[in-house]
Amino acid sequence: MSGLTIGNVAKRAGVGVETIRFYERQGLIEQPQKPGVGFRHYPADVVLRVRFIRHAKELGFSLREIGELLDLSLEPEQNCGEVRMRAEAKIADIDCRIESLEKMKGALSRLVVACGTQNQAQSCPIIESIVEESSSAD
């Protein structure tokens, strides 16, 4: 029988077997039919697909977005403009997250400075600030 077992696919793609199963449940890769006897066998191109998914995740794409990219990659005349728009949207999203993280870092840095050398939890400015923010959220 030709093809790769799930373990071989996982090893060649640099992921765990559970990752392969998860991608199957998410509809990102197709689960082969189980033969009457033995193991399922995946086509060799599944390794490339799993590597594509993994790399797209590293670039910040969600699994839903990756599914859309995979769909676009299957079109005979790939619309590079569509893919570019999605990449530009992802860049904008990353810029927003960076800005948000910078704000969090600044707030925490100010709290650390305000904390100074105090070692008592009941008068710690960091704890007090968190308590104040959680109280005002109501």
Residue 110 confidence (pLDDT) above 90: no
Residue 119 confidence (pLDDT) above 80: no
Backbone angles phi, psi at 11, to 5 degrees: -65, -45
What pTM was computed for the model?
0.77
How far apart (Å, rounded) are the C-alpha atoms in residues 118 and 124? 7
Q: Tell me what pLDDT residue 76 has.
A: 62
Q: Tell me what pLDDT residue 118 has.
A: 61
Cβ atoms 28, 63 nearer than 8 A: yes
Under the banding of pLDDT at 50, 70 and 90, the label for residue 21 is very high
CATH topology for the 1-76 domain: Multidrug-efflux Transporter Regulator; Chain: A; Domain 2 (1.10.1660)
- Answer left, alpha or beta for residue 25, where phi above 0 means left and psi between -120 and 50 means alpha: alpha
How far apart (Å, rounded) are the C-alpha atoms in residues 93 and 73? 22
Q: Tell me what pLDDT residue 89 has.
A: 95
Would you list the domain boundaries of the chain? Answer: 1-76, 79-138
